Protein backbone atom coordinates (compact mmCIF):
# COMPACT_ATOMS: atom_id res chain seq x y z
CA UNK A 1 0.00 0.00 0.00
CA UNK A 2 1.17 3.48 -0.81
CA UNK A 3 2.64 5.77 1.83
CA UNK A 4 1.07 8.91 3.21
CA UNK A 5 2.39 12.27 2.00
CA UNK A 6 3.69 12.70 5.52
CA UNK A 7 5.81 9.80 6.84
CA UNK A 8 4.50 10.11 10.40
CA UNK A 9 0.94 9.51 9.13
CA UNK A 10 1.84 6.37 7.14
CA UNK A 11 1.17 3.81 9.91
CA UNK A 12 -2.29 5.27 10.63
CA UNK A 13 -3.01 5.59 6.91
CA UNK A 14 -2.16 1.95 6.26
CA UNK A 15 -4.20 0.79 9.23
CA UNK A 16 -7.17 2.76 7.90
CA UNK A 17 -6.67 1.47 4.33
CA UNK A 18 -6.61 -2.13 5.51
CA UNK A 19 -9.76 -1.58 7.53
CA UNK A 20 -11.53 0.00 4.56
CA UNK A 21 -10.40 -2.70 2.12
CA UNK A 22 -11.78 -5.52 4.26
CA UNK A 23 -15.11 -3.75 4.64
CA UNK A 24 -15.20 -2.73 0.97
CA UNK A 25 -14.73 -6.24 -0.42
CA UNK A 26 -17.70 -7.43 1.55
CA UNK A 27 -19.61 -4.36 0.44
CA UNK A 28 -19.11 -5.08 -3.26
CA UNK A 29 -19.48 -8.84 -3.39
CA UNK A 30 -22.94 -9.81 -2.14
CA UNK A 31 -24.82 -7.12 -4.04
CA UNK A 32 -28.34 -6.60 -2.78
CA UNK A 33 -31.01 -8.42 -4.77
CA UNK A 34 -32.30 -6.43 -7.75
CA UNK A 35 -35.84 -7.16 -6.62
CA UNK A 36 -35.27 -5.52 -3.23
CA UNK A 37 -37.62 -2.68 -2.38
CA UNK A 38 -36.33 0.86 -1.84
CA UNK A 39 -36.90 0.49 1.87
CA UNK A 40 -34.90 -2.76 1.98
CA UNK A 41 -32.15 -1.15 -0.02
CA UNK A 42 -31.96 1.88 2.26
CA UNK A 43 -31.94 -0.36 5.33
CA UNK A 44 -29.11 -2.41 3.83
CA UNK A 45 -26.94 0.59 3.00
CA UNK A 46 -27.65 2.22 6.34
CA UNK A 47 -26.52 -0.92 8.11
CA UNK A 48 -23.39 -1.10 5.96
CA UNK A 49 -22.54 2.59 6.52
CA UNK A 50 -22.89 2.10 10.27
CA UNK A 51 -20.78 -1.04 10.17
CA UNK A 52 -18.03 0.91 8.38
CA UNK A 53 -18.18 3.70 10.95
CA UNK A 54 -18.05 1.22 13.83
CA UNK A 55 -15.10 -0.66 12.36
CA UNK A 56 -12.98 2.10 10.86
CA UNK A 57 -14.27 5.36 12.34
CA UNK A 58 -11.78 5.58 15.18
CA UNK A 59 -8.62 5.04 13.13
CA UNK A 60 -10.03 7.35 10.43
CA UNK A 61 -10.26 10.22 12.93
CA UNK A 62 -6.71 9.65 14.17
CA UNK A 63 -5.41 9.45 10.61
CA UNK A 64 -7.27 12.64 9.62
CA UNK A 65 -5.88 14.58 12.61
CA UNK A 66 -2.37 13.65 11.47
CA UNK A 67 -3.04 14.26 7.76
CA UNK A 68 -4.80 17.61 8.13
CA UNK A 69 -1.87 19.15 9.96
CA UNK A 70 0.54 17.77 7.33
CA UNK A 71 -1.60 19.26 4.53
CA UNK A 72 -1.41 22.65 6.25
CA UNK A 73 2.34 22.42 6.85
CA UNK A 74 3.08 21.52 3.26
CA UNK A 75 1.08 24.48 1.98
CA UNK A 76 -1.29 22.31 -0.05
CA UNK A 77 -4.43 23.65 1.59
CA UNK A 78 -4.93 26.77 -0.57
CA UNK A 79 -4.56 24.70 -3.76
CA UNK A 80 -7.04 22.18 -2.43
CA UNK A 81 -9.56 24.88 -1.52
CA UNK A 82 -9.28 26.39 -4.98
CA UNK A 83 -9.77 23.00 -6.63
CA UNK A 84 -12.82 22.29 -4.47
CA UNK A 85 -14.36 25.60 -5.43
CA UNK A 86 -13.72 25.10 -9.15
CA UNK A 87 -14.92 21.50 -9.21
CA UNK A 88 -16.90 20.52 -6.11
CA UNK A 89 -17.60 17.06 -7.62
CA UNK A 90 -20.25 16.27 -5.04
CA UNK A 91 -22.28 14.13 -7.47
CA UNK A 92 -21.20 11.14 -9.60
CA UNK A 93 -20.47 11.79 -13.26
CA UNK A 94 -23.56 11.57 -15.49
CA UNK A 95 -24.05 8.22 -17.25
CA UNK A 96 -21.91 7.45 -20.28
CA UNK A 97 -22.67 9.57 -23.34
CA UNK A 98 -24.72 7.96 -26.14
CA UNK A 99 -21.67 8.11 -28.41
CA UNK A 100 -19.90 5.38 -26.45
CA UNK A 101 -19.88 1.96 -28.06
CA UNK A 102 -21.07 -0.13 -25.13
CA UNK A 103 -24.62 -0.55 -23.78
CA UNK B 1 -6.97 22.61 -25.34
CA UNK B 2 -5.73 19.09 -25.99
CA UNK B 3 -7.73 15.91 -25.60
CA UNK B 4 -6.75 12.37 -24.84
CA UNK B 5 -8.96 9.30 -24.90
CA UNK B 6 -8.58 5.55 -24.60
CA UNK B 7 -10.82 2.63 -23.76
CA UNK B 8 -10.26 -1.08 -23.37
CA UNK B 9 -11.42 -4.11 -21.41
CA UNK B 10 -9.92 -5.64 -18.30
CA UNK B 11 -10.25 -9.43 -18.14
CA UNK B 12 -11.62 -9.29 -14.60
CA UNK B 13 -15.02 -8.79 -13.02
CA UNK B 14 -16.18 -5.30 -12.11
CA UNK B 15 -15.99 -6.07 -8.37
CA UNK B 16 -12.44 -7.38 -8.75
CA UNK B 17 -11.30 -4.32 -10.70
CA UNK B 18 -12.99 -1.84 -8.37
CA UNK B 19 -11.69 -3.45 -5.19
CA UNK B 20 -8.28 -3.67 -6.88
CA UNK B 21 -8.25 0.12 -7.36
CA UNK B 22 -7.19 0.44 -3.73
CA UNK B 23 -4.11 -1.65 -4.49
CA UNK B 24 -3.20 0.04 -7.76
CA UNK B 25 -0.25 1.89 -6.23
CA UNK B 26 2.55 1.33 -5.62
CA UNK B 27 3.27 -0.70 -8.73
CA UNK B 28 6.57 -1.11 -10.49
CA UNK B 29 5.42 0.62 -13.70
CA UNK B 30 4.04 3.75 -12.05
CA UNK B 31 6.84 4.87 -9.78
CA UNK B 32 5.85 8.50 -10.26
CA UNK B 33 3.09 8.07 -7.64
CA UNK B 34 4.75 8.51 -4.26
CA UNK B 35 1.87 8.87 -1.83
CA UNK B 36 -1.91 8.51 -1.59
CA UNK B 37 -4.09 9.93 1.16
CA UNK B 38 -7.82 9.89 1.79
CA UNK B 39 -9.02 13.41 2.54
CA UNK B 40 -12.70 12.58 2.82
CA UNK B 41 -14.89 9.51 2.44
CA UNK B 42 -18.66 9.25 2.79
CA UNK B 43 -21.16 6.45 2.27
CA UNK B 44 -24.59 7.67 1.18
CA UNK B 45 -27.01 5.63 3.30
CA UNK B 46 -29.78 6.01 0.70
CA UNK B 47 -28.01 5.03 -2.50
CA UNK B 48 -25.01 3.18 -1.09
CA UNK B 49 -22.69 5.33 -3.24
CA UNK B 50 -19.25 5.81 -1.72
CA UNK B 51 -17.54 9.11 -2.48
CA UNK B 52 -13.82 9.29 -1.79
CA UNK B 53 -11.62 12.36 -2.12
CA UNK B 54 -7.93 11.54 -2.26
CA UNK B 55 -4.69 13.39 -2.78
CA UNK B 56 -1.90 11.74 -4.74
CA UNK B 57 1.67 12.88 -4.37
CA UNK B 58 3.70 12.47 -7.55
CA UNK B 59 7.25 12.95 -8.59
CA UNK B 60 7.19 15.75 -11.09
CA UNK B 61 9.64 15.64 -13.93
CA UNK B 62 8.79 19.05 -15.30
CA UNK B 63 11.13 20.31 -18.00
CA UNK B 64 13.77 22.67 -16.70
CA UNK B 65 12.17 25.68 -18.33
CA UNK B 66 8.87 25.10 -16.54
CA UNK B 67 10.52 24.95 -13.13
CA UNK B 68 12.71 27.96 -13.93
CA UNK B 69 9.88 30.10 -15.26
CA UNK B 70 7.13 29.15 -12.90
CA UNK B 71 8.92 27.92 -9.83
CA UNK B 72 7.33 24.81 -8.46
CA UNK B 73 9.00 22.00 -6.65
CA UNK B 74 9.78 18.31 -6.88
CA UNK B 75 6.43 17.40 -5.35
CA UNK B 76 3.28 17.57 -7.41
CA UNK B 77 -0.17 16.84 -6.08
CA UNK B 78 -3.32 15.60 -7.75
CA UNK B 79 -6.84 15.67 -6.28
CA UNK B 80 -8.94 12.64 -7.18
CA UNK B 81 -12.65 12.01 -6.54
CA UNK B 82 -14.02 8.49 -6.85
CA UNK B 83 -17.66 7.44 -6.83
CA UNK B 84 -18.50 3.77 -6.45
CA UNK B 85 -22.14 2.89 -7.02
CA UNK B 86 -22.64 -0.71 -5.89
CA UNK B 87 -26.27 -0.92 -7.03
CA UNK B 88 -25.70 0.32 -10.58
CA UNK B 89 -22.22 -1.22 -10.69
CA UNK B 90 -20.47 1.86 -11.86
CA UNK B 91 -17.29 3.52 -10.69
CA UNK B 92 -15.97 6.88 -11.86
CA UNK B 93 -12.69 8.55 -11.04
CA UNK B 94 -12.06 12.24 -11.73
CA UNK B 95 -8.65 13.82 -11.21
CA UNK B 96 -7.28 17.33 -11.47
CA UNK B 97 -3.74 18.49 -10.83
CA UNK B 98 -3.22 20.87 -7.92
CA UNK B 99 0.38 21.70 -8.63
CA UNK B 100 1.07 24.07 -11.52
CA UNK B 101 -2.71 24.46 -11.76
CA UNK B 102 -2.29 28.22 -12.06
CA UNK B 103 -0.69 27.53 -15.47
CA UNK B 104 -2.36 24.43 -16.82
CA UNK B 105 -4.97 21.91 -15.78
CA UNK B 106 -5.29 18.27 -16.65
CA UNK B 107 -8.84 17.11 -16.03
CA UNK B 108 -9.14 13.35 -16.28
CA UNK B 109 -12.24 11.16 -16.12
CA UNK B 110 -12.23 7.38 -15.87
CA UNK B 111 -15.22 5.09 -15.84
CA UNK B 112 -15.29 1.39 -14.96
CA UNK B 113 -18.44 -0.49 -15.91
CA UNK B 114 -19.32 -4.19 -16.28
CA UNK B 115 -18.89 -5.70 -19.76
CA UNK B 116 -20.00 -9.08 -21.14
CA UNK B 117 -18.05 -12.26 -20.23
CA UNK B 118 -17.31 -11.03 -16.72
CA UNK B 119 -15.01 -8.32 -17.98
CA UNK B 120 -14.79 -4.62 -17.18
CA UNK B 121 -14.87 -1.72 -19.60
CA UNK B 122 -12.41 1.08 -18.91
CA UNK B 123 -12.92 4.49 -20.52
CA UNK B 124 -10.53 7.36 -19.94
CA UNK B 125 -10.71 10.91 -21.22
CA UNK B 126 -8.54 13.86 -20.39
CA UNK B 127 -8.69 17.55 -21.20
CA UNK B 128 -5.44 19.41 -20.95
CA UNK B 129 -5.61 23.16 -21.02
CA UNK B 130 -3.13 25.92 -20.35
CA UNK B 131 -4.51 29.00 -18.62
CA UNK B 132 -5.07 31.93 -20.94
CA UNK B 133 -2.53 34.17 -19.24
CA UNK B 134 0.36 32.31 -20.86
CA UNK B 135 1.72 33.41 -24.21
CA UNK B 136 0.11 31.40 -26.94
CA UNK B 137 3.28 29.60 -28.02
CA UNK B 138 4.42 28.90 -24.48
CA UNK B 139 0.95 27.65 -23.63
CA UNK B 140 0.91 25.39 -26.67
CA UNK B 141 4.34 23.99 -25.82
CA UNK B 142 3.27 23.33 -22.26
CA UNK B 143 0.06 21.62 -23.36
CA UNK B 144 1.95 19.40 -25.78
CA UNK B 145 4.46 18.41 -23.13
CA UNK B 146 1.63 17.62 -20.70
CA UNK B 147 -0.21 15.53 -23.31
CA UNK B 148 2.92 13.51 -24.08
CA UNK B 149 3.50 12.90 -20.43
CA UNK B 150 -0.14 12.01 -19.88
CA UNK B 151 -0.04 9.50 -22.74
CA UNK B 152 3.09 7.84 -21.36
CA UNK B 153 1.58 7.59 -17.90
CA UNK B 154 -1.75 6.34 -19.25
CA UNK B 155 0.03 3.43 -20.95
CA UNK B 156 2.03 2.69 -17.82
CA UNK B 157 -1.14 2.93 -15.74
CA UNK B 158 -2.81 0.28 -17.87
CA UNK B 159 0.17 -2.08 -17.75
CA UNK B 160 0.74 -1.52 -14.05
CA UNK B 161 -2.87 -2.05 -13.03
CA UNK B 162 -3.09 -5.17 -15.23
CA UNK B 163 -0.12 -6.61 -13.31
CA UNK B 164 -1.71 -5.73 -9.97
CA UNK B 165 -5.07 -7.28 -10.88
CA UNK B 166 -3.43 -10.47 -12.10
CA UNK B 167 -1.36 -10.77 -8.91
CA UNK B 168 -4.44 -10.18 -6.77
CA UNK B 169 -6.47 -12.87 -8.47
CA UNK B 170 -3.55 -15.32 -8.28
CA UNK B 171 -3.28 -14.56 -4.58
CA UNK B 172 -6.97 -15.23 -4.13
CA UNK B 173 -6.85 -18.48 -6.05
CA UNK B 174 -4.00 -19.85 -3.96
CA UNK B 175 -5.54 -18.67 -0.68
CA UNK B 176 -7.21 -21.50 1.27
Amino acid A103: pLDDT: 37
Residue range B9-35: mean pLDDT, rounded: 85
Chain A residue numbers touching B84 (CB-CB < 8 A): 28
Mean pLDDT of chain B: 84
Amino acid A95: pLDDT: 67
Residue range B131-142: mean pLDDT, rounded: 67
The ipTM (two decimal places) reads 0.89
Report the residue from A25, A52, A96 with minimal CB separation from B111: A96
Residue range B81-94: mean pLDDT, rounded: 93
Domain ranges within chain A, ordered by starting residue: 13-30+37-80
Contacting A residues, span 26-45, partner chain B, CB-CB under 8 Å: 27-29, 31-32, 41-42, 44-45
Contact call for B22 and A20, based on CB within 8 A? yes
Contact call for B113 and A80, based on CB within 8 A? no
**Cis ω on the peptide bond leading into residue B26 (within 30° of 0)?**
yes
Chain A residue numbers touching B83 (CB-CB < 8 A): 92-93
Q: Is A18 touching B (CB cutoff 8 A)?
A: no
Residue B69, burial from CB neighbour count under 10 angstroms (0-12, 13-18, 19+):
middle
Amino acid B61: pLDDT: 64
For A5-44, how does the pLDDT look when each residue is reduced to its tens digit (9 = 90+)?
Answer: 999 999 999 999 999 999 998 898 766 777 788 888 888 9
Q: Confidence band (pLDDT; 50, 70, 90) for A101? A: very low
Contacting B residues, span 55-74, partner chain A, CB-CB under 8 Å: 55, 57
Contact B99, B75 (CB under 8 A): yes
Residue A36, burial from CB neighbour count under 10 angstroms (0-12, 13-18, 19+):
middle
Contact B100, B70 (CB under 8 A): yes
For B144-165, how does the pLDDT look when each residue is reduced to its tens digit (9 = 90+)?
Answer: 888 888 888 888 888 889 888 9
Contacting B residues, span 118-147, partner chain A, CB-CB under 8 Å: 121, 123
Contact B30, B157 (CB under 8 A): yes
Residue B72 pLDDT > 80, yes or no? no
Residue B23 pLDDT > 50, yes or no? yes
- Identify the structural domains of chain B with CATH numbers, from first to last: 2-174 (3.30.530.20)
Residue range B107-132: mean pLDDT, rounded: 91
Residue range A42-51: mean pLDDT, rounded: 91
For A60-83, how does the pLDDT look when each residue is reduced to its tens digit (9 = 90+)?
Answer: 999 999 999 999 998 888 889 988
Amino acid sequence: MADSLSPECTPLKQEYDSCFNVWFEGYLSPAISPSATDAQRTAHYQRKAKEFEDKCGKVYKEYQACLQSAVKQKGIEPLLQQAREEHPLREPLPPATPSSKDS
Amino acid sequence: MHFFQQSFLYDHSWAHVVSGLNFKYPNSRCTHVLSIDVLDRTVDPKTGIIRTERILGCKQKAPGFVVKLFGGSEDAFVREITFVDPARQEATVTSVNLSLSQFATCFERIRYSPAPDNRTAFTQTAEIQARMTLWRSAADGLEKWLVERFEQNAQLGKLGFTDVLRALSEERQTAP
